[in-house]
Chains A and B, each alone.
Chain A
Amino acid sequence: MARRDKLQGSLDLLILRTLRGEPQHGYGITSQIQAWSDGELEVEEGSLYPALHRLERDELLTAEWRETEAGRRAKYYKLTRKGRKHLEAELKRWGRLSSAIALFLERSDA
């Protein structure tokens, strides 16, 4: 995820999807994305935190400071209702698009 601007749309999607379950802090989100993508997608901090704060500003996420299991204070992000709706819409869109691309690649290879 080196290109912060160009693929911003997709970074947002990844963040939102990660937060569909439990609230999570920034470091947790990067670990999750890395784990789920078998290490293929690595999110740079320089992209992650601006994105998180932008999503918070746009009220797709809320945040609160909480203790971690190890007893450290960390900022946890959680999906808002608006964020959840946005995520569902984006997922649908992405599904349509990726299947269109897959279809296209399949046919143009043939």
Chain B
Amino acid sequence: MSFLRRIRKLGRLNEEIDEELRFHLEEKERRLIADGLSPDEARREARKSFGSPAAVREYTRDAWVFRWADDLWRDLKFAARSLRRSPGFAAIAVVTLALGIGAATAVFSIVYGVMLRPLPFDAPHDVAEVYRSNENWTFGMREGGTAVQIERWKANARSVEQVAEYAMVRHFLTGAADPDVSWGLRVAPEFFDLLGVAARVGRTFGKDDYSGDGRVLVVSDRFWRTQFHSDPEVVGREIRLDDIAFTIVGVLPPRVRYPFFQGQVPGLVIETWEPMIARGDGNVLVRLARGASWKRVNTELGMMLDEDAGTSAYTVPIDDALEVTRRPLSVLLSAVFLILLLACMHVSTLLLARGVSREKDVSLRAALGAGRLQLLRQHLIETSLLAGAAGVCGVLLSTQLIRWLVPLFPHGIPRSEEIDIDPASLLFCLSVSTATALASGSLAAWKSSFSNIREGLAASAVSMASPRHARLLDGLLASEIALCVVLLVGAGLFLQSTARLLAIDSGFQANGVLTFRLMLNDNLYGDWRRAEAVQERLLDRLRALPGVESADLSMLLPLSGRSTRSPLLIEGQDPSTQGLLADVNVITPGYFSTIGLRLLSGRPFTEQDASYGTGTVVLSRSTAESLWPGQDPLGKRLRSTMTGEDWREVVGVVDNVKHFQLNEEPLPKVFIPYAQAQQPFLHRMMSSLSFISIRTGTSPVQLAGAVRAAVHEVDPDQPVVELKPLEQLVLDSVAQDRMQGSVLSLLAGLALVVAAIGLYGVVNYAVQQRTRELGLRLALGAETKQLARAVIARSMGTAAIGSLVGVAAAGVLARTLELGLYEIHPLDPLTYVAVVALISTVAFAACLVPARRATKIEPMAALRHD
């Protein structure tokens, strides 16, 4: 029927159907009256058997309105009914699918949020940071540009379209309930324009903002939400940073911030931007001119440097920062792929196992005129229903999983602070659910479309699965087990790598120590005497807390990610030669015992070091060994060029301490007593870089509240930053391994459960199917034990094949993927053996119950079994 005719038909359809039905009713009444009923009775009788005319009209009309919707609705109802008839199957399928989809969606959201989501800037590939470096500069240092260079680049560089400098600035949020430190950027006028960023509320900076005092602020979406409770009228409101009032002029869109990544520094997220009034040195952003190349930019900017020979300029495109995430996330992505595969296979297994018992049903439908296509559609609709329900549960589950997974992340993962379920994740979830439904549904349908009607109906007499069917099921089960092995091996390797990392002697005793970072407000404590006074008051107050054994101040803390590397000069060394690079740590006397650092020789610092005639220093073992190999370092003298002071006498040697990560070679370290650091330079450094460590006999976590309160007693506006147990710093340093281990363990556990359910279901089903055969064998004198053994042997055979394939696949994957494992070989035999043992145990347990059922078969009942 042509489209136009159908439309015309639809126009008068309701009246037509009504008339048709009215005629029907009247005819029926006439007949009933002719049969001897009174007109009233006839009317009632006719209506009664007719049902609701409105419903009949709707159904009839539907035939015209939605041909597809009509069929779909019928199929949906049928599918829902058939699922209701086997609630166990439906529940298992939905739960396992939901777990799979949920895990996949969560991990995808993370991978997307960190790695795949485009940077929220105009043509981000064309934006880069510019650095200067010089081969003579120590330890690969790199710098931004000087004010003069930046001006020159802005005026003359042809290969770049725009240049914008910026500098990081630390602010103290004062007057807040919980004083905090917030990080911001001072930016040049070109900054937002270069990035192509516009405010979502208010505006970014204009010319006028640069002619005033610069007390205006653009804030991040997160800052707007936390500090201003998403006030839509925020523009014009004031906020006090470092006791200075700033006026808000704009809010950036969600997730838009630059820089989006601050290396390994924890908690450092840029939240505010303000005009850079006084131009000076700074980091430099450039946008590539049309048609230019980065190579040309490097050459051109380098030529304008006008600096010492050997200094050159180079650019780092801003999306390079996302590179660091590639390795850990690619492991996760592979795992997600495996999990999805597993979920599909699992549902196929269940469908197939159930499909056999439904063969009669299907054949009957086929007999009653259902075409092959209709049967396929029926299967697909059934799996879509399952996948749809699982998808909804999966999304809910994934929001929980994300909340659990993200804190496990290493600090070095960019953009991890705002990972969430977003439209891309939902789209992913939808496509995954659809793909699952299609994949598992078509396999089952493909299988059942082969079933011959006669064979299917006759199957009720014989009640046995075809061998081809059984082979397919076994194959699926074996693949599930193989996948399981791969995931378990991955999880095992990462967990062991983590454990081995944590087993490394860090050189200190982390348990029982609480630490926090002390950042002093320069406006209040700019004078070093005042800074020292408040530091001492704080330490005294903390030491007086119940449960506190000692509290000490240090410039650096092991595994905190900070470094003060600078050259050492020993007495008698030629000053023009390069000295040994060492981290200089300024500490109060009790520091060694507070963090449990072992003294190897000499003495630790004491209160007397302040009045000691000459400066004193304590070395780490490796420093002593490289400065004076084979000699006693005590009494020798050296000085640090960072502090640029007089000679210091070595009074002690302590053990090596891990500084950046647990598996590093020992890095040189020297310790200087705090009491001898009374000079402006060191104090300026310590106002931004110093830690307080507190050793307690009780749990450090429980002490946190009291520590915070004690600090606020001394100064209510003093932020307590990065308050955490020292053990947490150790754990954070292995976060990448830990994260991979945890995620893979989660997925592997899931896979194990799924495989066990599949195995149980299939074996259980096989026993049911073979009831008659098993009963016959019992009647013929077979022992029950033999039967159970036969049932178990078959499943264990499948498990064995699956394990073998899995071990091989895991071996290949572990060798090809760069896993970054520590001290564990990707082919570590123990891991593989343990995994296979675990799988075998689970497989055995899964078929134990059905096997027991086989032994309980009553021979006579079984022979009558249909």
Complex formed: what's the CA distance from A97 to B363 in Å?
Answer: 11
Known: A25-B23, A49-B20. A12 touches B369 (CB 8 A): yes
A72 contacts B by Cβ under 8 Å: yes
In the complex the two chains form, is A49's CB within 8 Å of B17's CB? yes
Q: Min CB distance, B472 to chain A, in Å? A: 27
B368 contacts A by Cβ under 8 Å: yes
In the complex the two chains form, is B23's CB within 8 Å of A44's CB? no
Complex formed: what's the CA distance from A101 to B26 in Å?
Answer: 40
In the complex the two chains form, is B368's CB within 8 Å of A50's CB? no
Complex formed: what's the CA distance from A13 to B367 in Å?
Answer: 13
* Inter-chain contacts of B63 with A (CB < 8 A): 50, 53-54, 56-57
Q: Min CB distance, A88 to chain B, in Å? A: 14
In the complex the two chains form, is A9's CB within 8 Å of B23's CB? no
In the complex the two chains form, is B23's CB within 8 Å of A74's CB? yes
- 0/1 string, B451-469, CB within 8 A of A gives 1: 0011001100100000000
Q: Min CB distance, A86 to chain B, in Å? A: 10
Known: A45-B51, A57-B1, A57-B64. A10 touches B23 (CB 8 A): no
Number of chain A interface residues as a range: 20 to 34
Complex formed: what's the CA distance from A6 to B367 in Å?
Answer: 11
Known: A10-B369, A59-B1, A73-B23. A46 touches B51 (CB 8 A): yes
Name which of A46, A75, A100 has the most chain B CB atoms within 10 A of its CB.
A46
* Inter-chain contacts of A46 with B (CB < 8 A): 50-51, 55-56, 59
- Give the residues from 2 to 61 in chain A that come closer than 8 angstroms, CB to CB, to chain B: 5-10, 12-13, 25-27, 31, 44-46, 49-50, 52-54, 56-57, 59
Q: Which residue of chain B has the shortest Cβ distance to A26 in the bound complex?
A: B24
In the complex the two chains form, is A27's CB within 8 Å of B17's CB? no
B571 contacts A by Cβ under 8 Å: no
Q: Min CB distance, B192 to chain A, in Å? A: 61
In the complex the two chains form, is A27's CB within 8 Å of B28's CB? yes
Q: Which residue of chain B has the shortest Cβ distance to A42 in the bound complex?
A: B49
Q: Min CB distance, A68 to chain B, in Å? A: 8
Taking a contact as CB atoms closer than 8 A, the residue among A49, A54, A93, A100 that contacts B21 in the complex is: A49
Q: Min CB distance, A23 to chain B, in Å? A: 14
* Inter-chain contacts of A49 with B (CB < 8 A): 17, 20-21, 56, 59-60
Known: A27-B23, A45-B51, A73-B23. A6 touches B461 (CB 8 A): no
In the complex the two chains form, is A9's CB within 8 Å of B24's CB? no
Complex formed: what's the CA distance from A13 to B27 in Å?
Answer: 24
Complex formed: what's the CA distance from A94 to B313 in Å?
Answer: 86
In the complex the two chains form, is B56's CB within 8 Å of A6's CB? no
Q: Which residue of chain A has the shortest Cβ distance to B50 in the bound complex?
A: A45
* Inter-chain contacts of B16 with A (CB < 8 A): 75
Name which of A54, A59, A104 has the most chain B CB atoms within 10 A of its CB.
A54
* Inter-chain contacts of B24 with A (CB < 8 A): 25-27, 45
Complex formed: what's the CA distance from A11 to B6 in Å?
Answer: 24
B45 contacts A by Cβ under 8 Å: no
Q: Which residue of chain A has the shortest Cβ distance to B28 in the bound complex?
A: A27
* Inter-chain contacts of B537 with A (CB < 8 A): none
* Inter-chain contacts of B67 with A (CB < 8 A): 57
Complex formed: what's the CA distance from A75 to B70 in Å?
Answer: 23
Complex formed: what's the CA distance from A88 to B229 in Å?
Answer: 74
In the complex the two chains form, is A9's CB within 8 Å of B370's CB? yes
Q: Min CB distance, A62 to chain B, in Å? A: 10
Complex formed: what's the CA distance from A90 to B77 in Å?
Answer: 26
B326 contacts A by Cβ under 8 Å: no
Q: Is the interface of A mostly helix, strand, loop or mixed?
A: helix
- Give the residues from 669 to 711 in chain B that come closer than 8 angstroms, CB to CB, to chain A: none
Complex formed: what's the CA distance from A26 to B370 in Å?
Answer: 25
Complex formed: what's the CA distance from A27 to B56 in Å?
Answer: 14
* Inter-chain contacts of B370 with A (CB < 8 A): 9
B74 contacts A by Cβ under 8 Å: yes
Complex formed: what's the CA distance from A26 to B20 in Å?
Answer: 8
* Inter-chain contacts of B178 with A (CB < 8 A): none
In the complex the two chains form, is A108's CB within 8 Å of B20's CB? no
B722 contacts A by Cβ under 8 Å: no
- 0/1 string, B46-79, CB within 8 A of A gives 1: 0001110001100111111001001000100110
Known: A27-B24, A44-B51. A5 touches B78 (CB 8 A): yes
B536 contacts A by Cβ under 8 Å: no
In the complex the two chains form, is A104's CB within 8 Å of B458's CB? yes
Taking a contact as CB atoms closer than 8 A, the residue among B23, B60, B458 that contacts A53 in the complex is: B60
In the complex the two chains form, is A90's CB within 8 Å of B369's CB? yes
B19 contacts A by Cβ under 8 Å: yes
* Inter-chain contacts of B60 with A (CB < 8 A): 49-50, 52-53
In the complex the two chains form, is A5's CB within 8 Å of B77's CB? yes
* Inter-chain contacts of B55 with A (CB < 8 A): 46
* Inter-chain contacts of B368 with A (CB < 8 A): 6-10
Known: A57-B64, A90-B369. A45 touches B77 (CB 8 A): no
Q: Which residue of chain A has the shortest Cβ distance to B23 in the bound complex?
A: A74
- Give the residues from 63 to 110 in chain A that come closer than 8 angstroms, CB to CB, to chain B: 72-75, 90, 93, 97, 100-101, 104, 108
Complex formed: what's the CA distance from A54 to B17 in Å?
Answer: 13
- Give the residues from 359 to 398 in chain B that come closer than 8 angstroms, CB to CB, to chain A: 365, 367-370
In the complex the two chains form, is B23's CB within 8 Å of A72's CB? yes
Complex formed: what's the CA distance from A30 to B788 in Å?
Answer: 58
* Inter-chain contacts of B367 with A (CB < 8 A): 97
* Inter-chain contacts of A25 with B (CB < 8 A): 20, 23-24
Taking a contact as CB atoms closer than 8 A, the residue among A8, A50, A104 that contacts B369 in the complex is: A8
Known: A9-B370, A10-B369, A44-B51. A50 touches B62 (CB 8 A): yes
In the complex the two chains form, is B19's CB within 8 Å of A73's CB? yes
* Inter-chain contacts of B21 with A (CB < 8 A): 45, 49
Name which of A50, A75, A108 has the most chain B CB atoms within 10 A of its CB.
A50
Q: Min CB distance, A5 to chain B, in Å? A: 5
* Inter-chain contacts of A93 with B (CB < 8 A): 369
Complex formed: what's the CA distance from A97 to B77 in Å?
Answer: 27
* Inter-chain contacts of A104 with B (CB < 8 A): 457-458
Known: A46-B56, A49-B17, A49-B59. A9 touches B461 (CB 8 A): no
In the complex the two chains form, is B59's CB within 8 Å of A44's CB? no
* Inter-chain contacts of B74 with A (CB < 8 A): 5
Complex formed: what's the CA distance from A12 to B707 in Å?
Answer: 83
In the complex the two chains form, is A9's CB within 8 Å of B369's CB? yes
Q: Min CB distance, A66 to chain B, in Å? A: 11
In the complex the two chains form, is A101's CB within 8 Å of B457's CB? yes
In the complex the two chains form, is A44's CB within 8 Å of B461's CB? no
* Inter-chain contacts of B17 with A (CB < 8 A): 49, 53
Q: Min CB distance, B240 to chain A, in Å? A: 71
Complex formed: what's the CA distance from A7 to B364 in Å?
Answer: 10
Complex formed: what's the CA distance from A50 to B365 in Å?
Answer: 20
Q: Which residue of chain A has the shortest Cβ distance to B370 in the bound complex?
A: A9
Taking a contact as CB atoms closer than 8 A, the residue among B1, B59, B453 that contacts A97 in the complex is: B453
Q: Which residue of chain B has the shortest Cβ distance to A9 in the bound complex?
A: B369
Complex formed: what's the CA distance from A90 to B295 in Å?
Answer: 76
Complex formed: what's the CA distance from A43 to B591 in Å?
Answer: 94
Q: Min CB distance, A90 to chain B, in Å? A: 7
* Inter-chain contacts of A73 with B (CB < 8 A): 19, 23
* Inter-chain contacts of A7 with B (CB < 8 A): 368
* Inter-chain contacts of A31 with B (CB < 8 A): 31
Complex formed: what's the CA distance from A93 to B28 in Å?
Answer: 34
Can you give 18 A-B contacts (C-beta < 8 A)? A5-B74, A8-B369, A9-B369, A12-B369, A25-B20, A27-B24, A45-B21, A45-B49, A45-B50, A45-B51, A46-B50, A46-B59, A49-B17, A49-B20, A52-B60, A53-B17, A53-B63, A75-B20
Give the top 3 A-B pairs by smallest Cβ distance, nearest first. Answer: A9-B369, A9-B368, A53-B63
